[in-house]
Structure 1
């Protein structure tokens, strides 16, 4: 079965081999082409061509190491952010600003009582307070922030079903 994926205005077909490769690479991006080929039933060269195409077309955007947050001294916060209503230029400005903040790990534009939810890391509460101040000064469109300190991360992952 082939699925069409909409990518930057162009449809791209993902067949079962592409989906299997994506699933395996999300589990461990260090699999060799030979290991992947054995698992999906293709030749190593076919796997290399397919993964190259998936990278070039922007489906695979990065290959990173996941770090155990319990092994590093830091705090994690979930931050709910409410912006001025109906101010879409300010929303776009905020999205651009937050892309360059190293403390921000993820941001979600959401429905409901707030506009965005961010995952933010800091070395300590003072570091987080400095981040909050930078955010508020650089983005006067922020009406309210609500922060929650993460006590434990029972599950951490970046897997997307394919």
Structure 2
């Protein structure tokens, strides 16, 4: 789908404030209400706008420990990969899971209250994920940059 300058401005604006009213959005991007609404609906139906969410503060919710975990699997057949990917869906503390290139198979991001809670999670769940050969954990010391906005050019 080809995006024009209005589509891109709509996307940039919604990334910054998903609760903006359609009237405010249309003024902000320089379109009248109905064409702006049609564009938003088209962006949603095309799957460019996936959903609108509320972002929460990890620290205010006492979830200040972020852990990145490289995972190496024993087997790499489709069934083994699917079992692992399915199992990570059931662990709430895993907030991201990415397949990776190179000598590691997956990168997980885990958010927990404390190092002790992470140790418990590691022993009780993570080491028991299907087909896991090796886990390597790295604790984030400080978040230097955080954005939920994709860099839409143009």
TM range (shorter): 0.7 to 0.9
Q: Equivalent residue of 1:46, what SS?
A: helix
Matched, 1:126 2:116: yes
Choose from 124, 137, 152 the match for 2:128: 137
Choose from 90, 93, 101 the match for 1:103: 93
Distance 1:151 1:71 in 2: 17
Counterpart position of 1:48: 37
Counterpart position of 2:22: 33
Matched, 1:60 2:54: no
Choose from 2, 11, 17 the match for 2:6: 17
Structure 1 pair 137–117 and aligned structure 2 pair: CA distance change class (3 A):
same
Unaligned runs of at least 5 residues, structure 2: none
**Larger relative CO (CA 8 A, sep 6+): 1 or 2?**
2
C-alpha contact (below 8 Å) 2:88/2:129 kept by paired residues: no
Q: Equivalent residue of 1:113, what SS?
A: coil
TM-score, normalising length: structure 1: 0.81
Instruction: Report the Cα offset of residue 94 of structure 1.
Output: 1.3
Unaligned runs of at least 5 residues, structure 1: 1-11
Number of matched pairs: 150
Distance 1:137 1:119 in 2: 17
Q: Equivalent residue of 2:2, what SS?
A: strand
Distance 1:138 1:145 in 2: 10
Aligned-residue CA RMSD (Å)? 1.8
Choose from 63, 88, 95 the match for 2:78: 88
Deviations 1:38-63 (A, max 9, x none): 22211122222221222233221221
